[in-house]
Structure 1
Amino acid sequence: MFSQAIAPFSDQNKNIHQNWRGDTEKYTINTDLQLQLNAMKDASPAFLSTSTSRLLNTVWEFGTKMNFNPSSSNYLRMYVASDNADLTKELQGLYIRVGYTNKHVSLHSQSGKTSKTLINGTSKRLDMPNVSLRVKLTIDHTGFCSLYSKLEGESIFFLEGTSQLDKEPPVAYLGLTSYFTATRSQHFYFENIVLDILDKDMENLQEPGLWADSLDIVINEILPNPFLGGEEYVELYNRSDKTIDLSSLSILMRNADMSFNKAYPLSHKKEPFLPDTYLLLTKSKENVCQFYACPSLLSCQEIAMPTLTNAGGNLVVINNINNTIIDEFAYNDKMHSAGLASKKGVSLERIDVEGASNDWKNWQSASAENNYGTPGTANSQRLAGLEDGVEIIVPTIAMDEYQIRYKFASAGNMCRAIIFDSSGKVVRSLFNNQLLGTEGVLYWNGRGNSNQTLNSGVYILYFEINDQRSGKVKKFKLPVVVLNK
């Protein structure tokens, strides 16, 4: 099992030359077995570096002491990744800064000579005559960073902030660089510099069964254009027989040039995605479920998400362990049912989980009876191997409405339903251009158009469906017995 302890230091001076390269003459190991800056007054900056190959799924921790109030002239950088052994030159890397103008702990990426702030810690946290603290950085296997600090006298680490790496910097060296003025050239101290595996279970995750292969998981439903006050969502379906680790997956959108935009991990810890289950991805479950009938045992990940452009785009699910594309859906708002008055709040549902992801015929608008969305549960337009049929269930003591149950072999049917009396007169227009799913139930309270009580007798339900894809029209006529006391 990997563990790299760069310190504590021992055998005064010997370890510096054995384990480090760079300005070794500017540092010493003091009698307290601390690495101490011991430079000439005009020798700033002073760096030490050593080889490493770790970045992801790693935790770094070190102690440092400064016998002064840090400033923009007196501060240090701890590099956790660099492609250049000389940490004072142009490089590609990642470093923790302690001190500087804001007197705080922060995390930065570096490209050439340019640095970018990733985590801007608590300002003035180090504003004191003498600073003694421990610093910890964790980076999980998705590149999610968490930076912590613990001042002398504090019992627990304080979270300075978090950030997601846009890309993984090259890793060849780690090390430290001290920036100092003449009066501070011997007042930097370092101890207990250690890096180790963050998640040992993830390090041992070598079984392919825990990772998704192409099309093990499919994009099953998306809502790019939510109702006012709602939230965008994506639904995934695990159609494999594997229990897949969610932290091995990310979701992203392609840019206009088809390059990948920022990837968003589905989890920052190991979590199971079980076979034959649905998973809702959204920024706010509450904002989704206020509009749709979410299942009581909803499997949901509330995560940072890529923005789903209303008009269309390319949505991608990737395995972030080996960068395999698991599924990709090039959606377009023109894929919605032509009979819809508005596409706001209407999701696109996959009809057949075994069908092609980018076959327009494999997608349809969610049904009206489901309020145009089925997040976290089976799609209203799913292919279920049904044969066309309509039946009526008359009211019982347990229910006071007629149930009109239907099932169709194809998705995307518009429905028209009318109740006639025995003379052929229309007594109730139930539905007109109602978008149905492949299976469901509609309700009628047994009353007329003006909500009046109908005379007892035999009535006729005329039920017409229009398959918008084929243009075929199917008609059903069923007798309905109305009994009123």
Structure 2
Amino acid sequence: MKQIVWLLACALFPLCVSAQLAETFAGSGVTSAYPWEGDTEKFTINEKGELQLNAPSAKGEALLYLSAVPLLDNEWRFTIRNDYQGTTSNYFRIYLWSLQPDTKNPEEAVFIRLGYSKKNIALCRQTGNKKAEVLLDGRTLFENPQEAEVKVTTDKSGLCTVYSKCLSDQDFYKEGEAMLKSPSDNREGCFMIAVNFSAQHNTDKYADNIHINRFTLEDETPVEPEKPVEPSEPEIPEEPEPIPEPVEPENPDPIGKGYILINEVMADPNGAGGLPETEYVELYNASQQTLSLQGCSFGYGTAAPIMLKDYPFASGTYLVLYREGKDIEAGAGIAMPLAKFPVLANTGKELSLYDATGAVIDQVIYKKASAGVSWERQGESWQLSSDYRGGTPGASNSSLPEKPAEPEPPEVPATPAAVQPNDIIFNEILPNPYPDGSEYIELYNRSGKELPLSGLSIATRKTDGSLSTRYPLSSISALLPADEYAVLTKDAKGVTDFYHIPRPENIHTLKLPVLANTNATLVLFRTTDGVVIDELSYSSKWHTSLIKEEKGVSLERIDPEAATQDASNWTSASSPSGYGTPGSRNSQYGKTSGEQQPTRISKPQYSHETGLYAILYLLDQSGYSCRASIYDLSGRRVADISDNELTGTSGKLLWNGTSSNGSKLTSGLYILYIELYHDSGKTRRHKEVFLVH
């Protein structure tokens, strides 16, 4: 009989764990959260918490996979980003289901292809080693670098529906439907990420936020239950001690209904004005006492409730629930990350809060989400947040007083002035960076008042006049002060490694359009209504003829008050400035019309601290090239300081006091001779006697 019991225990012992998959790549390594297999050495987790391709610089394919996932009656969601256009060598295949972890011969497989020759999204089916069959051809998404969120659903009959959402989309776009030929049995397959890449684009592909509703994580090392040991005959004590009465464990006190309120819901954070793009639910303690959250749970739809952490929740305070590993702003409230925080549906869902006894504390159904704006509670009704950031996590609602149970007239938050046309302008651009450098766009606030950038977007204008992919600046929460600069770039290190940055806080890293080296049209506009703030159609021909190599040389605006589109108002950054001034006043700053400043050049000034001579200059206009030399009193040229360098309108030339052959000049009187040449034909000469120490 004992043998039968032991065999039954082995048979019933679970060999796998069923759950949803929610991979956010919040850990330090690829396999931190889930046991990914395959080419793990070709991927890394970057500082933004994304899965990033990090393969050798040679054309190839990188594959990651997990087991196991059913094909039917399931839902997949994932985000991918390709910082290069889709080609036959640069594209993604996300295998929703594959019987074998092999892209060449998966036996049977269904996958989403993103990019490839049509640069679009497509649903494909693959059988054996045959060419994949396209079941659904979707819209073109990867004509340029792009980030896209994809959702795929299947029902029990095999009907598959594909949706996509780009940064410019408010909601998911339905790509279409297709019927899958389901296998004869209900076998589970692998979920796979396959990335094809060229040698030059072996690191610019990313994936994140992978969610699968029905997923089975196989246990690699199941432990069999131990075989029971034959018990020996018990020893009977002569005088058995009395059995103590069982003590009932202490249970936390139940929390009354309405004591804690579900107070704010951010279901679609994309484009939020000044908040991290993180979904969250805010709770508010509306009672007059501190409440223990021990045993309390949060419910999402019909899914199993998620246990909250034991925390003393003070009266009149706020608590923000969100997914562990994501960024959150909770103000003066409590931030409570949850490993199993659900993906909030944009279409609306029922949310519940339960106490330790399972009784409902609060229950609401939020409405369809609006991108970048939270739903806030106002008494018994709900309304969209009017806060300029898009929500108020951890603080009073924008239209709600501190205590929802006893509402008072809300304080209207002071919102910054709306940006008007020409308030913020394009001031400097670098379309052609150094190798390993990064393109950048510099904006300048000439309005005389603080202005928000979070409500603006940037795009390039196509030849037909329409705008290409829109890139919101919503991640920039700080206001831009008057007469200050904001530098936008995809890679801050690609700017700071090559140029002098006096104020690093002016550098903002975010997604931007690709700047063509030769010419393009940049548009800065209000995200909400599309009003154009500034527009620049630049050309590489705007560089001065003195610049023979344009790589790494920025185009600077000369006069902020002159027209953006005036070609004569733009020129190359000066050589002494390092050919770029991101985040500070342009080296070519000046006036293009009216009375011009006089040209002034100082004597060489020696610094005992640096051991260098500095020659300060102030020129009447930009665009001069400079030749500067040192002569002795006999008229012999003994040193060269500048050889046809492009100057700015102001700056300084530095000289270390050595001659052309590298030896230090002896003390005495010498002559500084400078010649300035302008494209217009104007020439200026300057001669100055000075003392070499």
- The two structures have a TM-score, normalised by structure 1, of 0.66
Given candidates 446, 450, 453, the residue that maps to 1:246 is 453
Is the Cα contact below 8 Å between 2:151 and 2:164 reproduced in 1? yes
**In structure 2, distance between residues paired with 1:365 and 1:112:** 46
**In structure 2, distance between residues paired with 1:442 and 1:74:** 68
Given candidates 640, 644, 667, the residue that maps to 1:433 is 644
Show the counterpart of 1:19. none
Question: Could you say what secondary structure the match of 1:267 adopts?
Answer: coil
Please state if 1:471 is matched with 2:657.
no
- Displacement, 1:259? 1.1
Given candidates 185, 210, 214, the residue that maps to 1:126 is 214
Question: Could you say what secondary structure the match of 2:428 adopts?
Answer: strand
Q: After superposing the two structures, state which structure 1 stretch, 147-156 or 295-304, moved more.
A: 147-156
Is the Cα contact below 8 Å between 1:107 and 1:120 reproduced in 2? no
**In structure 1, distance between residues paired with 2:214 and 2:307:** 13
**In structure 1, distance between residues paired with 2:74 and 2:628:** 80
Please state if 1:355 is matched with 2:562.
yes
Unaligned runs of 5+ in 2: 1-68, 78-148, 166-171, 179-206, 218-264, 281-299, 309-320, 328-345, 350-362, 368-374, 377-383, 391-397, 399-411
Please give the per-residue CA displacement for 1:21-64, whole angstroms capped at 9, x wherever unaligned: xxxxxxxxxxxxxxxxxxxxxxxxxxxxxxxxxxxxxxxxxxxx
Opposite residue 200 of structure 1, the aligned amino acid is: S
Please state if 1:153 is matched with 2:306.
yes
- Displacement, 1:209? 5.5
Unaligned runs of 5+ in 1: 1-68, 78-93, 130-134, 163-172, 177-190
Show the counterpart of 1:403. 614
Show the counterpart of 1:272. 479
**In structure 1, distance between residues paired with 2:523 and 2:304:** 43
**In structure 2, distance between residues paired with 1:446 and 1:160:** 56
Question: Could you say what secondary structure the match of 2:454 adopts?
Answer: helix
Is the Cα contact below 8 Å between 1:266 and 1:301 reproduced in 2? no
**In structure 2, distance between residues paired with 1:285 and 1:76:** 33
Please state if 1:215 is matched with 2:401.
no
**In structure 2, distance between residues paired with 1:288 and 1:342:** 18
Show the counterpart of 2:267. 137
Opposite residue 346 of structure 1, the aligned amino acid is: V
**In structure 2, distance between residues paired with 1:382 and 1:249:** 26
Aligned residues: percent identity?
Answer: 33
Is the Cα contact below 8 Å between 1:76 and 1:99 reproduced in 2? no
Is the Cα contact below 8 Å between 2:75 and 2:214 reproduced in 1? no
Is the Cα contact below 8 Å between 1:300 and 1:376 reproduced in 2? yes
Structure 1 residues 147 and 126: CA distance shift in structure 2, 3 A:
farther
Opposite residue 152 of structure 1, the aligned amino acid is: P
Q: After superposing the two structures, state which structure 1 stretch, 424-433 or 227-236, moved more.
A: 424-433
| Correspondences of 1:38-117 after superposition (within 5 Å) | 72-73=72-73, 109-111=172-174, 113=176
Opposite residue 366 of structure 2, the aligned amino acid is: V
Show the counterpart of 1:200. 386
| Correspondences of 1:346-425 after superposition (within 5 Å) | 346-383=553-590, 386-425=597-636
- Displacement, 1:215? 0.4
Opposite residue 692 of structure 2, the aligned amino acid is: V
Question: Could you say what secondary structure the match of 1:415 adopts?
Answer: strand
Structure 1 residues 70 and 360: CA distance shift in structure 2, 3 A:
same
Q: After superposing the two structures, state which structure 1 stretch, 195-204 or 143-152, moved more.
A: 143-152
- Displacement, 1:158? 3.6
Structure 1 residues 455 and 301: CA distance shift in structure 2, 3 A:
closer
Is the Cα contact below 8 Å between 2:630 and 2:670 reproduced in 1? yes
Please give the per-residue CA displacement for 1:404-433, whole angstroms capped at 9, x wherever unaligned: 111112011100011111121111122111
Please give the per-residue CA displacement for 1:232-261, whole angstroms capped at 9, x wherever unaligned: 000000000222122111111111222101
Is the Cα contact below 8 Å between 2:614 and 2:655 reproduced in 1? yes
Over the aligned positions, Cα root-mean-square deviation in angstroms equals 3.9
Opposite residue 386 of structure 2, the aligned amino acid is: K
| Correspondences of 1:163-174 after superposition (within 5 Å) | none
Show the counterpart of 2:496. 289
**In structure 1, distance between residues paired with 2:74 and 2:663:** 86
**In structure 1, distance between residues paired with 2:74 and 2:511:** 37
Q: After superposing the two structures, state which structure 1 stretch, 300-309 or 263-272, moved more.
A: 263-272
Given candidates 423, 427, 452, the residue that maps to 2:663 is 452
- Displacement, 1:159? 7.8
Show the counterpart of 1:345. 552
Give the paired residue count: 366
Structure 1 residues 193 and 230: CA distance shift in structure 2, 3 A:
same
Opposite residue 263 of structure 1, the aligned amino acid is: R
Given candidates 524, 546, 565, the residue that maps to 1:317 is 524
Q: After superposing the two structures, state which structure 1 stretch, 199-208 or 324-333, moved more.
A: 199-208
Question: Could you say what secondary structure the match of 2:621 adopts?
Answer: coil
Structure 1 residues 145 and 480: CA distance shift in structure 2, 3 A:
closer
Opposite residue 211 of structure 1, the aligned amino acid is: A
Higher relative contact order (Cα pairs below 8 Å, separated by 6+ residues): 1
Is the Cα contact below 8 Å between 1:232 and 1:283 reproduced in 2? yes
**In structure 2, distance between residues paired with 1:318 and 1:153:** 42
